[in-house]
Amino acid sequence: MKQSSYIRKLTLTGVLAALTTVATLVIQIPTLTKGYINLGDTVVNLAGWVLGPFYGAAAAGLGSALADLISGYTVYAPATFLIKALMAAAAFGIWRLLAQKLQDVPARIAAAVVAELIMIVGYAVFEGILYGSPASAAASLSGNLVQGIFGAAASVTLYEAVLKRIPHLNDRR
């Protein structure tokens, strides 16, 4: 990778990490399980699609974990980093795999759904361990399901409406 291309990719990674943080903090709807529904998953999926699996995972993980730290959900930050990084990598990987067989939009929808399932299962497992109870894990499912549905729909819509129209944005993976 040429140095100028590397600098652009690193800069975009920082911008998407910051945007992930802001999108997570802008609207927070508390859930019964001490978590919150937010807009961050929209950017998490977009980061994977725009930056690829490694830089996208870095932007998604760092931005989301930083939002947890700022919001006072410090205990969640390490799990959030891992879950959101996996989401971005999966969003890219599933989309890339399916785009060879499907049209772009269905491939992105499937990729976003898989990424959101990673979030739902990841937080259920984490909360089950954290609170020592399968009931705690089950209680987190409904709020995370709502966030997952919104995150998948919003990320595909935003990508199709805006990001795919930006010349050369997607050539940097």
Q: What is the pLDDT of residue 27?
A: 85
Residues 140-158: b if buried by 16+ CB within 10 A, e if exposed: bbebbeebbebbbebbbee
Work out the pLDDT band at 172, boundaries 50, 70, 90.
very low
Confidence at 34, pLDDT banded by 50, 70, 90: low
Query: Looking at residue 1, what is its pLDDT?
Result: 64
The tally of domains found in the chain comes to 1
For the record, the structure tokens of 18 come out as 């910051």
The answer to whether 116 and 87 have CB atoms below 8 angstroms apart is yes
Mean pLDDT of 38-47: 95
Measured CA to CA, the distance from residue 76 to residue 59 in angstroms comes to 17
Which positions ≥6 away from 118 have C-beta within 8 Å?
A: 83, 86, 87, 90
Q: What is the reported pTM?
A: 0.91
Q: With a cut of 90, say whether residue 121 has pLDDT above it.
A: yes
Using DSSP's 3-state secondary structure scheme, residue 30 falls into strand
Find all residues with CB under 8 Å of 142, minimum gap 6, and list them. 31
Domain holding 30: CATH number? 1.10.1760.20
Torsion over CA: 7, 166, 21, 142 (sign): negative
Q: How confident is the model at residue 116 (pLDDT cuts 50, 70, 90)?
A: very high
Question: How confident is the model over 150-165, as a mean pLDDT?
Answer: 90
The answer to whether residue 23 scores a pLDDT higher than 60 is yes
> Domain containing 96: what range?
3-172
